[in-house]
Amino acid sequence: MNYNENEKYDSNGDINLFDQENNNSELEEENQLSNENYELTEEEIMMLSEAKENSLKLVMRKTFFSLLIYVLVGNLIASLLALFMDFGLVMILVVTIPLLLVAKQLPFIKLKELFKYKRNDIKKTDIIYFFGLGLLLNAIISLAVAFILQKLGLQSTSVTQTIQTQMSPMLLIYVVLVGPIVEEILYRGYLGQNLARFSKNGAIIFVSIVFAISHLNIEQSFSIMGLAFLVTYIGLNYSFLMATILHILNNANSIIVLNLVEKFGESSAVVNVYSVALIFLMIYAAIRFFRRGRFDLKANIESSPEEKKYTKKILTSPYTFMILAFYLIMMYLTYQAQSLL
């Protein structure tokens, strides 16, 4: 990616988030040159560390209030418009309008550069591998969650059934296109990229968990946890655009399966052929992961002591617990509201 001198910094004077490899190498060179002529005192090192910690606290605080605004405004829009408009159009407004408000709360991000960033060691065809890996993770975790819920005698409202009963062209556009793009911009974009300045691993863990529980459905939150980690991992390590495409493919696949089952029947030849194709794709992804992917994963999650420190700070921040508590309360209220219907 090519930047001129002014594009290396955002509107707040921070280093641009989307050329991290070049930024890191340039910073290392600058540090080496400066260390030859000048060595920081212990007091100056402490001051720099304190400034960075204060910056993280600011980002976490803005993250908390941004998510608060996003959820509450979205629910307000839904409650006001649900009786008068198509459900799909309501959902599009529910995610897009709050995003515009949230964008003003968080540090500036260039969306154009966000979608353009791509590491050189990733190919377009890798989306097939990642899609198969996502299917595999989703299948394993979904089966485990269904088994646990059955043993505990718990039930969860099926999101796929809700979509199926209220399907419309606008809802299809929301599920397959608008929803994934908006969610990627918010979670892997604004939240993930800003937290990755302090710790990429911390950002992946935080964003994945928050994204999963933001669906406010117990079964779905646990079921998509693996896919959430995969999409966030891809978005912060390889390509934001590929993470977005993977999210779109996952949602589109769910719609395709629903329509095939509804039209031809669960045990029809068409459904069986499609299922076998997905199984082969998962097998391919599993083989590739154990042959090579696991080594890439190990290399990407390797972190310095400094990054490990900030991973811990992100995950143990009071704002992290406040965000989790807020979503759990919203999940409980949603469950209670559904039980009354």
pLDDT at residue 23 greater than cutoff 80 = no
pLDDT tens profile 201-230: 999 999 999 999 998 888 888 888 999 999
pLDDT mean over 243-255: 94
Tally DSSP H helices, then E strands, for the chain: 17, 0
pLDDT at residue 8 greater than cutoff 80 = no
**pLDDT value at residue 215:** 87
Cα-Cα-Cα-Cα dihedral of 243, 137, 272, 145, to 10°? -130
Evaluate if pTM is beyond 0.75: yes
Are the CB atoms for 114 and 191 separated by under 8 Å?
no
pLDDT at residue 186 greater than cutoff 60 = yes
Are the CB atoms for 114 and 18 separated by under 8 Å?
yes
Nearest to 243 by CA among 185, 170, 173: 185
**pLDDT value at residue 88:** 85
pLDDT at residue 15 greater than cutoff 70 = no
Confidence of residue 312 (pLDDT cuts 50, 70, 90): very high
pLDDT at residue 146 greater than cutoff 90 = no
**pLDDT value at residue 267:** 84
Neighbours of 80 (CB within 10 A): 12
Distances (CA, A) of 117 to 103, 113, 193, 217, 282: 20, 6, 12, 33, 27
**pLDDT value at residue 165:** 65
**pLDDT value at residue 49:** 83
Structure tokens that stand for 89 in this block = 């159009």
Three-point CA angle 20, 25, 29, nearest 5°: 145
Work out whether the CA dihedral 196, 199, 205, 206 comes out positive or negative: negative
pLDDT mean over 14-19: 46
**pLDDT value at residue 13:** 41
User: Please, is 231 exposed, middle or buried when counting C-beta atoms within 10 Å of its C-beta (0-12, 13-18, 19+)?
Assistant: buried
Structure tokens that stand for 113 in this block = 């550069």
Relative orientation angle of helices 126-152 and 225-237, to the nearest 10 degrees? 150
Neighbours of 203 (CB within 10 A): 24
Coil/strand/helix, residue 132? helix
**Count of alpha carbons within 13 Å of 262, Cβ hemisphere only?**
12
Confidence of residue 258 (pLDDT cuts 50, 70, 90): confident
95 vs 283, residue with greater confidence: 283
Average pLDDT, the chain: 83
pLDDT tens profile 60-75: 999 999 999 999 998 8
Are the CB atoms for 218 and 158 separated by under 8 Å?
no
**pLDDT value at residue 17:** 46
**pLDDT value at residue 213:** 93
pLDDT mean over 78-96: 85
Q: How far is the C-alpha of 201 from the C-alpha of 210, rounded, in Å?
A: 14
DSSP 56-105: HHHHHHHHHHHHHHHHHHHHHHHHHHTTTS-HHHHHHHHHHHHHHHHHTT
pLDDT mean over 327-335: 88
